[in-house]
Amino acid sequence: MATDVRQAVPFSPEKWRRDFPILDQQIHRQRPLVFLDNAASTQRPNQVIDSMSAAYRQTYANVHRGNHWLSEQSTFQFEAARAAVARFVGTDNPREIVFTSGTTAGINLVARAWGEVQLRPGDEILLTELEHHSNIVPWQQMAARTGATVRFVPVDQQGLIHPEVVAAQLNERTRVFAFAAVSNVLGTVNPVSDFCRLARARNVLTVVDAAQHAPHEPLNVRQWDADLVAFSGHKLLGPTGIGVLYGRFELLDSWPPFLGGGSMIDRVTWDGFTPGEIPARFEAGTPPIVEAIGLHAAIDYLDVVGLEAIQQHERQLVEHAIFRLEQEVDGFRLLGPRHDRAGIASFVIDRVHPQDLAIKLDLQGIATRAGHHCAMPLHEKLGLSASSRVSFYLYNTLGEVDYFVDAVGAAVAKLR
């Protein structure tokens, strides 16, 4: 049985939450705002907001092509952000970092730039049953274009995928294995290095959706030995509209561009064009300049807090939440593994619809998530149409967890 975690290693979320102005407010008849929807998107500290405001106020111009001071300043900040991201993911080559609009755009870039050239009828695209729609639909679209087949590695009753199951699914027809590092529904933490090792032994391309990993624990693409890794800025304290695709240099350098237009070319003539070098080849048009500056500030902030400390704090919060819910809420059922999970808890409660519960909690100032969480096939596998989800981050407190559990108990009593 789980134990209460109130005697855990000290972490001071109160110290950090002072940097988040949005959290310092009351809503719905003076209820304190309790934000527990961090898997969907996190909030931004003053440091990120201020960095973006300063860029707009002092140094903004388009990058790379301007022969004036503002453009030089903006270009310097933009490329400094790329270097910061490279360090954040564990590569010493900033050219392996492509800025996108988010995880979804990064996976679509891979599917189109690589898949349309490499996939043939009879080839297999291997995914897992844990995937977010953004790591399913682009591959289904690519399969329809190329005649390839999409297959799914099954998840067991505990919400886990074991390396030996992956090994059994990989075969001579498998061309790409795309999988989430962390499930956005079950909180399952996959053994990424093991999965990549198995795929590499069969010369299978690996694409890792790190949207739920990058904000919460250290990420090192070299240690993972991954070919490609995608994640979003807005889930790690950064702005919306920017994401990252890491790719091995030799891979990206061999691919044709996905989008055409300005910035991604070396030369254009009446008869055709020559694509530019990477990463510019995959960054057509005006890039997310100020968003990249904000992402840089977010990474700097996370460096100060420490991802290891964040990971430990979140796991303490989720363990405490699950412990109390299991003990106090009749009919509560956790989805996914009981232990060694990320700071995400999805659940169902007998005779209570997730949407009704979310509305009741919102009236108490508590932001949670109800629905299929962009994972309809997984919910179908679980025999559910929807679930409730809470997800924690560095600024959440044990007091907020207790307030949430008490509110769940009161809501369930009323709804029944």
Q: What pLDDT digit, counting tens, does each position of 195-222 carry? A: 999 999 999 999 999 999 999 999 999 9
d(CA 278, CA 260): 14
Domain boundary residue, one of 247, 278, 304: 304
Q: What is the pLDDT of residues 69-119, one digit of tens each?
A: 999 999 999 999 999 999 999 999 999 999 999 999 999 999 999 999 999
pTM: 0.95
Question: Which amino acid is located at 331 in the chain?
Answer: G
* Statement to judge: residues 177 and 313 lie in one domain: no
* Statement to judge: residues 198 and 158 lie in one domain: yes
Query: What is the domain-level CATH number for residue 369?
Result: 3.90.1150.10
List, run by run, the mean pLDDT of 10-residue segments along the chain (416 residues): 44 95 95 98 98 98 93 98 98 98 98 97 98 98 98 97 98 98 98 98 98 97 98 98 98 96 94 95 97 98 97 97 98 96 98 98 98 98 98 98 98 96
Q: What is the pLDDT of residues 106-156, one digit of tens each?
A: 999 999 999 999 999 999 999 999 999 999 999 999 999 999 999 999 999
Where b means 16+ CB within 10 Å and e means fewer, 50-71 reads ebbeebeeebbbbbbeeeeeeb
Domain boundary residue, one of 259, 275, 304: 304
* Residue span of the structural domain in which 311 resides: 13-44+306-415
pLDDT for 392: 98
196 tagged catalytic: no
Among residues 8, 33, 150, 374, the one annotated as catalytic is: 374
- Does some domain include residue 210? yes
Domain boundary residue, one of 287, 304, 321: 304
* Statement to judge: residues 253 and 331 lie in one domain: no
Structural domain count, the chain: 2
Query: What is the domain-level CATH number for residue 255?
Result: 3.40.640.10
